[in-house]
Structure 1
Amino acid sequence: MKIVDTHAHLDMLKHPGPAVKRARDAGVAQVVAVGIDLESSLKAAQLSRELGGVFCTVGMHPNNAAYTERSVWSELKRLALTAPAVAIGECGLDYYRDRTPKDIQREVFAQQIALATDLGLPLIVHDRQAHEDTLAMLKEQHAGRIGGVVHCFSGDAAVAKKVLDLGFHIGVTGVLTYPANQELRDLVKLVPSDRLLIETDCPFLAPQAMRGKPNEPSYLVHTLAELATCLGREPEEVAAATTDAARRLFGLPELGE
Protein backbone atom coordinates (compact mmCIF):
# COMPACT_ATOMS: atom_id res chain seq x y z
CA MET A 1 0.00 0.00 0.00
CA LYS A 2 1.55 3.29 -1.15
CA ILE A 3 0.25 6.83 -0.72
CA VAL A 4 1.14 10.41 -1.67
CA ASP A 5 1.61 13.35 0.70
CA THR A 6 0.23 16.11 -1.51
CA HIS A 7 1.27 19.03 0.71
CA ALA A 8 4.47 19.13 2.78
CA HIS A 9 6.76 21.99 3.76
CA LEU A 10 9.89 19.85 3.68
CA ASP A 11 12.17 22.87 3.81
CA MET A 12 10.83 23.64 7.31
CA LEU A 13 11.94 20.26 8.68
CA LYS A 14 15.29 20.07 10.42
CA HIS A 15 16.30 16.97 8.48
CA PRO A 16 14.17 16.54 5.36
CA GLY A 17 16.24 13.70 3.90
CA PRO A 18 15.76 11.31 6.83
CA ALA A 19 12.09 12.39 7.07
CA VAL A 20 11.53 11.38 3.44
CA LYS A 21 13.22 8.03 4.10
CA ARG A 22 10.94 7.41 7.09
CA ALA A 23 8.00 8.33 4.91
CA ARG A 24 9.06 5.85 2.26
CA ASP A 25 9.44 3.13 4.89
CA ALA A 26 5.90 3.93 6.10
CA GLY A 27 4.44 3.64 2.59
CA VAL A 28 4.42 7.32 1.62
CA ALA A 29 6.09 6.86 -1.74
CA GLN A 30 5.80 10.41 -3.08
CA VAL A 31 5.80 13.85 -1.45
CA VAL A 32 4.85 17.21 -2.93
CA ALA A 33 7.16 19.85 -1.42
CA VAL A 34 5.27 23.14 -1.37
CA GLY A 35 6.72 26.63 -1.71
CA ILE A 36 5.30 29.64 0.13
CA ASP A 37 7.66 32.34 -1.18
CA LEU A 38 10.59 32.53 -3.57
CA GLU A 39 13.14 31.27 -1.03
CA SER A 40 11.09 28.26 0.02
CA SER A 41 10.18 27.53 -3.59
CA LEU A 42 13.88 27.42 -4.45
CA LYS A 43 14.46 25.04 -1.54
CA ALA A 44 11.53 22.86 -2.60
CA ALA A 45 12.96 22.67 -6.10
CA GLN A 46 16.37 21.70 -4.73
CA LEU A 47 14.85 18.97 -2.56
CA SER A 48 12.97 17.62 -5.59
CA ARG A 49 16.30 17.22 -7.36
CA GLU A 50 18.07 15.67 -4.39
CA LEU A 51 15.46 13.30 -2.95
CA GLY A 52 13.74 10.53 -4.86
CA GLY A 53 9.98 10.68 -4.94
CA VAL A 54 9.86 14.39 -4.08
CA PHE A 55 8.17 16.89 -6.41
CA CYS A 56 7.98 20.65 -5.96
CA THR A 57 5.58 23.55 -6.32
CA VAL A 58 6.33 27.27 -6.48
CA GLY A 59 4.15 29.97 -5.03
CA MET A 60 3.50 32.89 -2.72
CA HIS A 61 1.46 32.30 0.45
CA PRO A 62 -1.06 35.07 1.21
CA ASN A 63 0.71 35.84 4.50
CA ASN A 64 3.82 36.63 2.46
CA ALA A 65 2.01 38.56 -0.26
CA ALA A 66 2.91 42.00 1.10
CA TYR A 67 6.58 41.31 0.47
CA THR A 68 6.21 40.32 -3.17
CA GLU A 69 8.39 42.41 -5.46
CA ARG A 70 7.63 42.61 -9.18
CA SER A 71 10.82 40.74 -10.06
CA VAL A 72 9.61 37.73 -8.07
CA TRP A 73 7.08 36.77 -10.75
CA SER A 74 9.64 36.24 -13.48
CA GLU A 75 11.75 34.21 -11.05
CA LEU A 76 8.80 32.04 -9.99
CA LYS A 77 7.87 31.44 -13.62
CA ARG A 78 11.45 30.52 -14.52
CA LEU A 79 11.65 28.17 -11.54
CA ALA A 80 8.30 26.56 -12.35
CA LEU A 81 9.55 25.78 -15.85
CA THR A 82 13.04 24.60 -14.94
CA ALA A 83 12.43 22.68 -11.70
CA PRO A 84 9.93 21.63 -13.09
CA ALA A 85 7.04 22.38 -10.74
CA VAL A 86 3.94 20.21 -10.57
CA ALA A 87 1.69 23.06 -9.36
CA ILE A 88 1.51 26.77 -8.55
CA GLY A 89 1.03 27.54 -4.87
CA GLU A 90 0.61 27.60 -2.03
CA CYS A 91 -1.44 30.66 -2.87
CA GLY A 92 -4.81 32.09 -1.93
CA LEU A 93 -6.43 34.19 0.75
CA ASP A 94 -6.07 34.23 4.54
CA TYR A 95 -8.49 36.51 6.39
CA TYR A 96 -7.74 34.84 9.72
CA ARG A 97 -4.33 36.41 10.21
CA ASP A 98 -3.99 40.16 9.70
CA ARG A 99 -0.55 40.04 8.10
CA THR A 100 -1.33 41.32 4.62
CA PRO A 101 -3.99 43.79 3.44
CA LYS A 102 -6.81 41.97 1.69
CA ASP A 103 -6.46 43.92 -1.54
CA ILE A 104 -2.80 42.90 -1.82
CA GLN A 105 -3.69 39.28 -1.06
CA ARG A 106 -6.25 39.30 -3.84
CA GLU A 107 -3.84 40.91 -6.30
CA VAL A 108 -1.10 38.37 -5.59
CA PHE A 109 -3.57 35.48 -5.73
CA ALA A 110 -4.88 36.70 -9.09
CA GLN A 111 -1.35 36.85 -10.49
CA GLN A 112 -0.75 33.25 -9.45
CA ILE A 113 -4.00 32.04 -10.98
CA ALA A 114 -2.89 33.75 -14.19
CA LEU A 115 0.57 32.17 -13.94
CA ALA A 116 -0.92 28.71 -13.41
CA THR A 117 -3.22 29.21 -16.38
CA ASP A 118 -0.33 30.39 -18.54
CA LEU A 119 1.77 27.35 -17.64
CA GLY A 120 -1.07 24.84 -17.60
CA LEU A 121 -0.38 23.84 -14.01
CA PRO A 122 -2.91 23.14 -11.23
CA LEU A 123 -3.26 25.40 -8.21
CA ILE A 124 -2.68 24.63 -4.54
CA VAL A 125 -5.09 26.98 -2.79
CA HIS A 126 -4.92 28.29 0.77
CA ASP A 127 -8.34 29.42 1.97
CA ARG A 128 -8.72 30.43 5.60
CA GLN A 129 -11.88 32.29 6.57
CA ALA A 130 -12.03 33.66 3.03
CA HIS A 131 -14.31 31.15 1.32
CA GLU A 132 -16.50 33.62 -0.56
CA ASP A 133 -13.67 35.68 -2.05
CA THR A 134 -11.53 32.63 -2.81
CA LEU A 135 -14.30 30.89 -4.71
CA ALA A 136 -15.29 34.08 -6.51
CA MET A 137 -11.74 34.67 -7.75
CA LEU A 138 -11.32 31.09 -8.92
CA LYS A 139 -14.60 31.33 -10.81
CA GLU A 140 -13.94 34.78 -12.29
CA GLN A 141 -10.54 33.71 -13.62
CA HIS A 142 -11.86 30.40 -14.95
CA ALA A 143 -9.45 28.42 -12.78
CA GLY A 144 -11.54 25.32 -13.37
CA ARG A 145 -9.73 24.98 -16.69
CA ILE A 146 -6.56 24.02 -14.83
CA GLY A 147 -8.03 22.69 -11.59
CA GLY A 148 -6.22 22.21 -8.34
CA VAL A 149 -6.89 21.56 -4.68
CA VAL A 150 -8.20 23.61 -1.79
CA HIS A 151 -5.74 22.29 0.73
CA CYS A 152 -6.44 21.71 4.42
CA PHE A 153 -10.11 22.19 3.70
CA SER A 154 -11.92 24.13 6.43
CA GLY A 155 -15.29 24.97 4.90
CA ASP A 156 -18.69 23.42 5.34
CA ALA A 157 -20.67 21.19 2.98
CA ALA A 158 -21.96 24.16 0.95
CA VAL A 159 -18.41 25.43 0.38
CA ALA A 160 -17.26 21.92 -0.50
CA LYS A 161 -19.96 21.64 -3.16
CA LYS A 162 -18.85 24.91 -4.75
CA VAL A 163 -15.21 23.77 -4.71
CA LEU A 164 -16.20 20.52 -6.42
CA ASP A 165 -18.41 22.34 -8.92
CA LEU A 166 -15.36 24.38 -9.95
CA GLY A 167 -13.54 21.14 -10.72
CA PHE A 168 -11.20 21.35 -7.74
CA HIS A 169 -10.12 18.68 -5.29
CA ILE A 170 -10.40 18.80 -1.50
CA GLY A 171 -7.29 18.23 0.62
CA VAL A 172 -7.57 16.58 4.04
CA THR A 173 -4.92 16.87 6.75
CA GLY A 174 -4.38 15.43 10.22
CA VAL A 175 -7.10 17.71 11.57
CA LEU A 176 -9.47 14.96 10.40
CA THR A 177 -8.26 12.94 13.40
CA TYR A 178 -8.96 15.62 16.02
CA PRO A 179 -11.84 14.71 18.35
CA ALA A 180 -13.56 18.07 17.88
CA ASN A 181 -13.66 17.78 14.08
CA GLN A 182 -16.75 15.66 13.58
CA GLU A 183 -18.06 18.11 10.98
CA LEU A 184 -15.08 17.36 8.73
CA ARG A 185 -15.45 13.61 9.29
CA ASP A 186 -19.06 13.89 8.16
CA LEU A 187 -18.18 16.12 5.22
CA VAL A 188 -15.61 13.80 3.61
CA LYS A 189 -18.39 11.25 3.09
CA LEU A 190 -19.98 13.68 0.62
CA VAL A 191 -16.85 14.11 -1.54
CA PRO A 192 -16.35 11.79 -4.54
CA SER A 193 -13.40 9.48 -3.91
CA ASP A 194 -11.60 10.70 -7.01
CA ARG A 195 -11.61 14.28 -5.68
CA LEU A 196 -10.10 13.62 -2.23
CA LEU A 197 -6.42 14.16 -1.49
CA ILE A 198 -4.54 13.49 1.74
CA GLU A 199 -1.74 15.68 3.01
CA THR A 200 0.29 16.47 6.12
CA ASP A 201 0.98 20.22 5.79
CA CYS A 202 4.05 19.29 7.81
CA PRO A 203 5.59 20.42 10.08
CA PHE A 204 2.14 21.69 11.12
CA LEU A 205 -1.07 19.88 12.09
CA ALA A 206 0.29 16.58 13.35
CA PRO A 207 -2.48 13.95 13.61
CA GLN A 208 -4.01 13.23 17.01
CA ALA A 209 -1.71 10.28 17.73
CA MET A 210 1.31 12.54 17.23
CA ARG A 211 0.01 15.80 18.71
CA GLY A 212 2.79 17.91 20.20
CA LYS A 213 5.39 16.64 17.73
CA PRO A 214 6.50 18.31 14.49
CA ASN A 215 4.47 16.71 11.73
CA GLU A 216 6.24 14.81 8.95
CA PRO A 217 5.18 12.86 5.85
CA SER A 218 5.38 9.44 7.55
CA TYR A 219 2.49 10.49 9.81
CA LEU A 220 0.18 10.59 6.79
CA VAL A 221 -0.76 6.98 7.53
CA HIS A 222 -2.82 8.19 10.51
CA THR A 223 -4.89 10.49 8.29
CA LEU A 224 -5.37 7.68 5.78
CA ALA A 225 -6.61 5.33 8.52
CA GLU A 226 -9.09 7.90 9.84
CA LEU A 227 -10.33 8.71 6.35
CA ALA A 228 -10.90 5.01 5.65
CA THR A 229 -12.88 4.72 8.88
CA CYS A 230 -15.01 7.75 7.96
CA LEU A 231 -15.76 6.31 4.54
CA GLY A 232 -16.35 2.78 5.78
CA ARG A 233 -13.80 1.43 3.34
CA GLU A 234 -10.57 -0.53 3.56
CA PRO A 235 -7.40 1.57 3.91
CA GLU A 236 -5.94 -0.07 0.81
CA GLU A 237 -8.93 1.04 -1.25
CA VAL A 238 -8.72 4.63 0.02
CA ALA A 239 -4.95 4.65 -0.51
CA ALA A 240 -5.42 3.62 -4.14
CA ALA A 241 -8.12 6.24 -4.75
CA THR A 242 -6.26 9.17 -3.20
CA THR A 243 -2.99 8.17 -4.85
CA ASP A 244 -4.63 7.95 -8.26
CA ALA A 245 -6.27 11.35 -7.73
CA ALA A 246 -2.92 12.90 -6.76
CA ARG A 247 -1.14 11.38 -9.74
CA ARG A 248 -3.75 12.64 -12.19
CA LEU A 249 -3.91 16.16 -10.75
CA PHE A 250 -0.17 16.76 -10.47
CA GLY A 251 1.02 14.59 -13.34
CA LEU A 252 3.10 12.41 -11.04
CA PRO A 253 4.75 9.24 -12.36
CA GLU A 254 3.34 5.88 -11.44
CA LEU A 255 4.63 4.62 -8.11
CA GLY A 256 7.67 2.48 -8.65
CA GLU A 257 8.73 4.22 -11.86
Structure 2
Amino acid sequence: MLFDTHTHLDSAAFDEDREAVIQRAVDQGITRMINIGFNRETIPTTMQLAEKYDFIYAAVGWHPVDAIAMKEEDLEWIASLTAHRKVVAIGEIGLDYHWDTSPKEIQHKVFRQQIQLAKELNLPIVIHNRDAHEDVLRILKEEKASEVGGVMHSFSGSWETAKQCLHMGFHISFGGPITFKNAKQPKEVLTQVPLDRLLLETDAPYLTPHPFRGKRNESSYVKYVAEQAAALKGLSLEEISEITTRNGLERFGI
Protein backbone atom coordinates (compact mmCIF):
# COMPACT_ATOMS: atom_id res chain seq x y z
CA MET A 1 0.00 0.00 0.00
CA LEU A 2 1.89 3.03 -1.29
CA PHE A 3 0.97 6.66 -2.05
CA ASP A 4 2.78 8.56 -4.83
CA THR A 5 2.10 12.07 -3.57
CA HIS A 6 3.57 13.90 -6.57
CA THR A 7 3.46 12.72 -10.18
CA HIS A 8 2.90 14.07 -13.69
CA LEU A 9 1.13 11.20 -15.44
CA ASP A 10 -0.38 13.63 -17.94
CA SER A 11 3.11 14.40 -19.29
CA ALA A 12 3.72 13.81 -23.00
CA ALA A 13 6.32 11.26 -21.88
CA PHE A 14 3.40 8.91 -21.18
CA ASP A 15 1.36 9.54 -24.33
CA GLU A 16 2.24 6.16 -25.84
CA ASP A 17 1.49 3.97 -22.80
CA ARG A 18 -0.27 5.98 -20.08
CA GLU A 19 -2.84 3.33 -19.19
CA ALA A 20 -0.15 0.65 -18.94
CA VAL A 21 1.95 2.92 -16.69
CA ILE A 22 -1.00 3.49 -14.39
CA GLN A 23 -1.82 -0.24 -14.34
CA ARG A 24 1.79 -1.07 -13.40
CA ALA A 25 1.50 1.30 -10.46
CA VAL A 26 -1.70 -0.40 -9.32
CA ASP A 27 -0.04 -3.80 -9.71
CA GLN A 28 2.85 -2.63 -7.49
CA GLY A 29 0.45 -1.68 -4.70
CA ILE A 30 0.23 2.07 -5.28
CA THR A 31 -3.26 2.84 -3.99
CA ARG A 32 -3.27 6.64 -4.36
CA MET A 33 -1.54 9.18 -6.57
CA ILE A 34 -1.68 12.97 -6.74
CA ASN A 35 -1.19 14.39 -10.21
CA ILE A 36 0.05 17.96 -10.40
CA GLY A 37 -1.46 20.53 -12.76
CA PHE A 38 0.84 23.52 -12.81
CA ASN A 39 0.02 25.73 -15.84
CA ARG A 40 -2.56 26.39 -18.55
CA GLU A 41 -1.73 23.14 -20.37
CA THR A 42 -1.39 20.67 -17.50
CA ILE A 43 -4.27 21.73 -15.27
CA PRO A 44 -6.98 20.46 -17.69
CA THR A 45 -5.14 17.18 -18.33
CA THR A 46 -4.66 16.69 -14.59
CA MET A 47 -8.37 17.18 -14.00
CA GLN A 48 -9.14 14.63 -16.72
CA LEU A 49 -7.00 12.01 -14.99
CA ALA A 50 -8.60 12.74 -11.60
CA GLU A 51 -12.05 12.29 -13.11
CA LYS A 52 -11.13 9.08 -14.95
CA TYR A 53 -9.43 7.21 -12.09
CA ASP A 54 -10.86 6.88 -8.57
CA PHE A 55 -7.39 6.63 -7.01
CA ILE A 56 -5.86 9.67 -8.75
CA TYR A 57 -6.31 13.06 -7.08
CA ALA A 58 -5.34 16.51 -8.28
CA ALA A 59 -3.31 19.47 -7.08
CA VAL A 60 -3.70 22.64 -9.14
CA GLY A 61 -1.49 25.71 -9.08
CA TRP A 62 0.97 27.78 -11.07
CA HIS A 63 4.59 26.71 -11.34
CA PRO A 64 7.24 29.40 -10.69
CA VAL A 65 8.92 28.69 -14.03
CA ASP A 66 5.67 29.79 -15.72
CA ALA A 67 4.95 32.65 -13.30
CA ILE A 68 5.45 35.29 -15.97
CA ALA A 69 2.52 33.86 -17.95
CA MET A 70 -0.03 33.85 -15.13
CA LYS A 71 -2.95 36.27 -15.46
CA GLU A 72 -5.56 37.28 -12.90
CA GLU A 73 -8.12 35.05 -14.60
CA ASP A 74 -5.80 32.06 -14.15
CA LEU A 75 -5.84 32.57 -10.40
CA GLU A 76 -9.64 32.74 -10.52
CA TRP A 77 -9.67 29.57 -12.61
CA ILE A 78 -7.55 27.72 -10.06
CA ALA A 79 -9.85 28.91 -7.28
CA SER A 80 -12.92 27.66 -9.15
CA LEU A 81 -11.39 24.21 -9.70
CA THR A 82 -10.85 23.68 -5.99
CA ALA A 83 -14.60 23.13 -5.65
CA HIS A 84 -14.04 19.77 -7.38
CA ARG A 85 -14.03 16.90 -4.85
CA LYS A 86 -10.79 15.45 -6.27
CA VAL A 87 -8.74 18.66 -5.89
CA VAL A 88 -6.84 18.29 -2.63
CA ALA A 89 -4.13 20.99 -2.73
CA ILE A 90 -2.81 24.15 -4.35
CA GLY A 91 0.44 23.35 -6.11
CA GLU A 92 3.00 23.05 -7.20
CA ILE A 93 3.89 26.61 -6.29
CA GLY A 94 7.06 28.27 -5.06
CA LEU A 95 10.33 29.58 -6.44
CA ASP A 96 12.78 28.30 -9.05
CA TYR A 97 16.09 30.13 -9.41
CA HIS A 98 17.62 27.44 -11.63
CA TRP A 99 15.67 28.11 -14.82
CA ASP A 100 15.85 31.75 -15.85
CA THR A 101 12.33 32.02 -17.32
CA SER A 102 10.44 34.24 -14.87
CA PRO A 103 11.92 37.25 -13.03
CA LYS A 104 12.27 36.73 -9.28
CA GLU A 105 9.89 39.57 -8.38
CA ILE A 106 7.15 38.00 -10.53
CA GLN A 107 7.78 34.57 -9.01
CA HIS A 108 7.48 36.12 -5.54
CA LYS A 109 4.19 37.84 -6.40
CA VAL A 110 2.62 34.71 -7.90
CA PHE A 111 3.84 32.60 -4.97
CA ARG A 112 2.32 35.00 -2.44
CA GLN A 113 -0.98 35.20 -4.34
CA GLN A 114 -1.34 31.43 -4.29
CA ILE A 115 -0.49 31.10 -0.59
CA GLN A 116 -3.17 33.69 0.11
CA LEU A 117 -5.62 31.77 -2.06
CA ALA A 118 -4.85 28.51 -0.26
CA LYS A 119 -5.51 30.21 3.08
CA GLU A 120 -8.85 31.54 1.83
CA LEU A 121 -9.80 28.04 0.68
CA ASN A 122 -8.19 26.22 3.63
CA LEU A 123 -6.19 23.92 1.36
CA PRO A 124 -2.60 22.68 1.83
CA ILE A 125 0.10 23.88 -0.56
CA VAL A 126 2.68 21.85 -2.47
CA ILE A 127 6.00 23.69 -2.62
CA HIS A 128 8.48 23.65 -5.49
CA ASN A 129 11.82 25.01 -4.26
CA ARG A 130 14.86 24.97 -6.51
CA ASP A 131 17.95 26.89 -5.43
CA ALA A 132 15.75 29.32 -3.46
CA HIS A 133 15.67 28.01 0.13
CA GLU A 134 16.10 31.36 1.87
CA ASP A 135 13.42 33.21 -0.09
CA VAL A 136 10.96 30.29 0.04
CA LEU A 137 11.21 30.16 3.83
CA ARG A 138 10.94 33.93 4.17
CA ILE A 139 7.80 34.15 2.02
CA LEU A 140 6.18 31.17 3.75
CA LYS A 141 6.74 32.89 7.09
CA GLU A 142 5.64 36.35 5.93
CA GLU A 143 2.46 34.95 4.37
CA LYS A 144 1.73 32.83 7.47
CA ALA A 145 1.60 29.65 5.39
CA SER A 146 1.63 27.68 8.66
CA GLU A 147 -2.13 28.34 8.77
CA VAL A 148 -2.59 25.70 6.06
CA GLY A 149 0.75 23.85 5.91
CA GLY A 150 1.45 21.51 3.06
CA VAL A 151 4.28 19.55 1.47
CA MET A 152 7.88 20.40 0.68
CA HIS A 153 8.03 18.47 -2.59
CA SER A 154 11.21 16.61 -3.60
CA PHE A 155 13.05 18.07 -0.63
CA SER A 156 16.68 18.96 -1.33
CA GLY A 157 17.54 21.32 1.50
CA SER A 158 19.49 20.98 4.73
CA TRP A 159 18.21 19.69 8.05
CA GLU A 160 18.15 23.31 9.29
CA THR A 161 15.80 24.19 6.43
CA ALA A 162 13.71 21.08 7.07
CA LYS A 163 13.33 21.99 10.75
CA GLN A 164 11.90 25.39 9.83
CA CYS A 165 9.46 23.75 7.39
CA LEU A 166 8.39 21.23 10.03
CA HIS A 167 7.86 24.05 12.51
CA MET A 168 5.44 25.66 10.02
CA GLY A 169 3.41 22.47 9.80
CA PHE A 170 4.80 21.08 6.54
CA HIS A 171 5.40 17.48 5.59
CA ILE A 172 8.70 16.62 3.92
CA SER A 173 8.52 14.54 0.74
CA PHE A 174 11.34 12.53 -0.79
CA GLY A 175 11.70 10.95 -4.22
CA GLY A 176 14.23 9.22 -6.43
CA PRO A 177 17.32 11.22 -5.33
CA ILE A 178 17.42 9.41 -1.96
CA THR A 179 18.34 6.26 -3.91
CA PHE A 180 21.39 7.92 -5.51
CA LYS A 181 24.78 6.88 -4.13
CA ASN A 182 26.05 10.46 -3.80
CA ALA A 183 22.86 11.89 -2.25
CA LYS A 184 24.35 12.29 1.21
CA GLN A 185 22.30 15.29 2.38
CA PRO A 186 18.79 14.04 1.44
CA LYS A 187 19.52 10.72 3.13
CA GLU A 188 20.75 12.44 6.30
CA VAL A 189 17.71 14.71 6.38
CA LEU A 190 15.30 11.81 5.85
CA THR A 191 16.72 9.96 8.83
CA GLN A 192 15.87 12.97 11.02
CA VAL A 193 12.39 13.82 9.71
CA PRO A 194 9.74 12.54 12.17
CA LEU A 195 7.88 9.53 10.79
CA ASP A 196 4.52 11.28 11.02
CA ARG A 197 5.76 14.04 8.65
CA LEU A 198 7.33 11.83 5.98
CA LEU A 199 5.91 11.46 2.46
CA LEU A 200 7.10 9.64 -0.66
CA GLU A 201 6.82 10.62 -4.32
CA THR A 202 8.23 10.00 -7.78
CA ASP A 203 7.84 13.34 -9.62
CA ALA A 204 7.49 11.07 -12.67
CA PRO A 205 8.63 11.28 -15.42
CA TYR A 206 11.53 13.09 -13.70
CA LEU A 207 14.05 12.14 -10.97
CA THR A 208 14.05 8.41 -11.69
CA PRO A 209 15.35 6.29 -8.80
CA HIS A 210 18.15 3.75 -8.95
CA PRO A 211 18.27 1.21 -10.64
CA PHE A 212 16.46 3.00 -13.50
CA ARG A 213 18.24 6.35 -13.21
CA GLY A 214 18.57 8.03 -16.59
CA LYS A 215 15.37 6.49 -17.90
CA ARG A 216 11.77 7.72 -17.70
CA ASN A 217 10.36 7.64 -14.18
CA GLU A 218 6.88 6.29 -13.42
CA SER A 219 4.66 5.97 -10.38
CA SER A 220 5.32 2.27 -9.84
CA TYR A 221 8.94 3.21 -9.03
CA VAL A 222 7.85 4.83 -5.77
CA LYS A 223 8.44 1.34 -4.39
CA TYR A 224 12.21 1.88 -4.78
CA VAL A 225 11.96 5.18 -2.91
CA ALA A 226 10.02 3.40 -0.15
CA GLU A 227 12.64 0.65 0.09
CA GLN A 228 15.41 3.22 0.56
CA ALA A 229 13.36 5.21 3.09
CA ALA A 230 12.66 2.00 5.02
CA ALA A 231 16.37 1.13 5.10
CA LEU A 232 17.30 4.61 6.31
CA LYS A 233 14.63 4.51 9.02
CA GLY A 234 15.36 0.92 10.07
CA LEU A 235 11.84 -0.21 9.20
CA SER A 236 10.31 -2.81 6.91
CA LEU A 237 8.89 -1.87 3.51
CA GLU A 238 5.42 -2.67 4.85
CA GLU A 239 5.88 -0.36 7.84
CA ILE A 240 7.16 2.62 5.82
CA SER A 241 4.42 2.08 3.22
CA GLU A 242 1.67 2.08 5.85
CA ILE A 243 3.07 5.12 7.66
CA THR A 244 3.65 7.29 4.59
CA THR A 245 0.30 6.36 3.05
CA ARG A 246 -1.50 7.30 6.25
CA ASN A 247 0.45 10.57 6.37
CA GLY A 248 -0.58 11.37 2.77
CA LEU A 249 -4.25 10.61 3.38
CA GLU A 250 -4.28 12.84 6.45
CA ARG A 251 -2.28 15.66 4.87
CA PHE A 252 -4.53 15.87 1.81
CA GLY A 253 -7.78 15.15 3.62
CA ILE A 254 -8.53 12.02 1.59
TM over 0.5: yes
Structure 1 residue aligned with 2:43? 41
Aligned counterpart, 1:236: 238
- Decide whether aligned partners of structure 1 residues 151 and 83 sit closer, same or farther in structure 2, where only a CA change above 3 A counts: same
- Displacement of 1:136 in angstroms is 1.0
**How far apart are 1:91 and its partner, in Å?**
0.4
Task: Give the superposition deviation at 1:83.
Answer: 5.4
Name the structure 2 match of 1:7: 6
**Aligned residues of 1:110 and 1:137 also touching (Cα < 8 A):** yes
Counterpart-to-counterpart distance in 2, 1:116 and 1:42: 19
Cα offsets for 1:73-112 (capped at 9, x unmatched): 1111111213541000000001112111000000000111
- After TM superposition, list the pairs within 5 Å mapping 1:175-194 onto structure 2: 175-194=177-196
Q: For each residue in 1:109-154, what CA deviation from the matched residue of structure 2 results, as whole angstroms up to 9, or x when unmatched?
A: 0111011111111000001111111111111111111110110001
1:224 corresponds to which of 223, 226, 229: 226
Total equivalences in the alignment: 251
* Aligned partner of residue 83 in structure 2, secondary structure: helix
Counterpart position of 1:93: 95
Contact 2:149 2:169 in 1 (8 A): yes
Amino acid at match of 2:165: V
2:110 corresponds in structure 1 to: 108
1:80 maps to 82
Q: Deviations over 1:28-82 (max 9, x none)?
A: 1110001111321111111001023000011100001011112111111111213
- Structure 2: which 5+ residue stretches go unaligned? none
Q: d(CA) in 2 for partners of 1:238 and 1:25?
A: 18
> How many angstroms does 1:186 deviate by?
1.5
CA contact (8 A) 1:38 1:59 kept: no
TM-score where L is the length of structure 2:
0.96
1:165 aligns with 2:167: yes
TM-score by length of 1: 0.95
CA contact (8 A) 1:9 1:34 kept: yes
Task: Give the corresponding residue for 1:138.
Answer: 140
**Corresponding residue SS for 2:202:** coil
CA distance in 1, matches of 2:191, 2:105: 35
Moved more, 196-205 or 134-143: 134-143
- Counterpart residue number, 2:203: 201
Which aligned segments of 4 or more residues in structure 1 are displaced greater than 3 angstroms? none
Q: Distance in 2 between matches of 1:166 and 1:154?
A: 17
Percent of aligned pairs sharing the same letter: 39
Whether contact under 8 Å (2:63, 2:91) holds in the other structure is yes
Tell me which moved more, 180-189 or 102-111: 180-189
Measure how far apart 1:18 and its partner are.
Answer: 2.0
Say what the alpha-carbon RMSD is for the aligned residues.
Answer: 1.0
